[in-house]
Amino acid sequence: MNHHHTYDAPSYAPRILVVEDNDELRGIYSDYLRERGFRVKQTGTASEAIELAPVSDVVLLDVSLPDQDGWTVAEQLLNDVPEVSIVFVTAMGERQQLLHGFEIGAADYLVKPIDLEELRVRIRAITRKNAGPRPLRFGTLTIDLVQHVVRRDGNPIHITQLQYDLLALLCQHPYRVWTREELLNRVWGADRFVTHRAVDVRLRHLREAIGDDANHPTFIDTIRGQGYKWMLEPEQDEAPSLDVMNS
């Protein structure tokens, strides 16, 4: 029987998906990484790996799985979820297998039997290299604070730097009401020669760009006599439950 556990480490800890068909090894890897501060989910099948990978940062992937080989799974994952890092785990240590793994796009490669401390160090190195917040998702709107890209329905939208700065500030503080003066100080800065009316104009343009109706807003609410607030919390990355997946 395959099990995967919910994350029980802090929400900012790296998310590791252990994909290993050997129950004992899967438990050893998962327990070890969890005890060292990682958030861990685990599964023994390729089908569940494909379901769980989008909410993982690193996938520890055994090449020999019962329902599909790891190479095929890896190619699908890297095509569908290019931001995930894959570490192959295999009993096969031949040079050709190693090269194949890196050609596919593996971040690293470990040969059984695995030294657990080496596993921890390698995963930590990958997560450190990849460090950076994931894009924030609000329904149809995605805001990537690392790449400074805003997408609506998956398509990049073109906004000015000022509009982006306003959007980034608002969306990172859901439900907080910002006065026009606060927005001027935070976005325009001290050396500004603009009025409160300029904030209203920029906010109107921003709403148009992200497809928000001022009369029936989804994202930015106008608080009469006070200012503006962001109306949504970012959607949490939740993996589908096994009950749903196995039904």
Q: Which domains does the chain show, CATH number per domain?
A: 15-131 (3.40.50.2300), 136-230 (1.10.10.10)
d(CA 76, CA 83): 13
Q: Which residues is 86 bridged to in the sheet?
A: 59
Indicate the DSSP class of residue 39: E
Instruction: Output the pLDDT for position 241.
Output: 38
* 206 neighbors 12 (Cβ within 8 angstroms): no
Question: What does each C-alpha distance from 3 to 43, 73, 178, 198 come to in angstroms?
Answer: 6, 19, 45, 55
* 89 neighbors 62 (Cβ within 8 angstroms): yes
* 226 neighbors 179 (Cβ within 8 angstroms): yes
Q: What is the 3-state secondary structure (H, E, C) of 6-27?
A: CCCCCCCCCEEEEECCCHHHHH
Token look-up 């190693």 returns 98
* 45 neighbors 2 (Cβ within 8 angstroms): yes
3-state secondary structure of 128: helix
d(CA 221, CA 193): 25
Strand arrangement, sheet containing 149-152: 136-138, 141-144, 149-152, 155-156
**Cβ within 8 Å of residue 238, ≥6 positions away:** 55
Token look-up 């398509």 returns 155
Number of helices (H) and strands (E) in the chain: give both, helices first. Answer: 9, 12
Question: What does each C-alpha distance from 87 to 186, 207, 209, 243 come to in angstroms?
Answer: 42, 42, 39, 27
Closest by Cα among 129, 130, 85, 90 to 107: 85
Instruction: Output the pLDDT for position 221.
Output: 97
d(CA 174, CA 186): 16
Instruction: Output the pLDDT for position 242.
Output: 37
Length of the chain: 247
Instruction: Output the pLDDT for position 177.
Output: 95
In tens digits, what is the pLDDT along the chain, a chain of 247 residues? 444 544 455 555 788 999 999 999 999 999 999 998 888 999 999 999 998 988 888 999 998 898 998 889 999 988 888 889 999 988 866 677 778 888 889 999 898 899 999 999 999 999 887 766 678 899 999 998 777 889 999 899 999 988 999 999 999 889 999 999 999 888 887 656 788 898 999 999 999 999 999 999 999 999 999 999 999 998 865 444 333 333 3
* 52 neighbors 41 (Cβ within 8 angstroms): yes
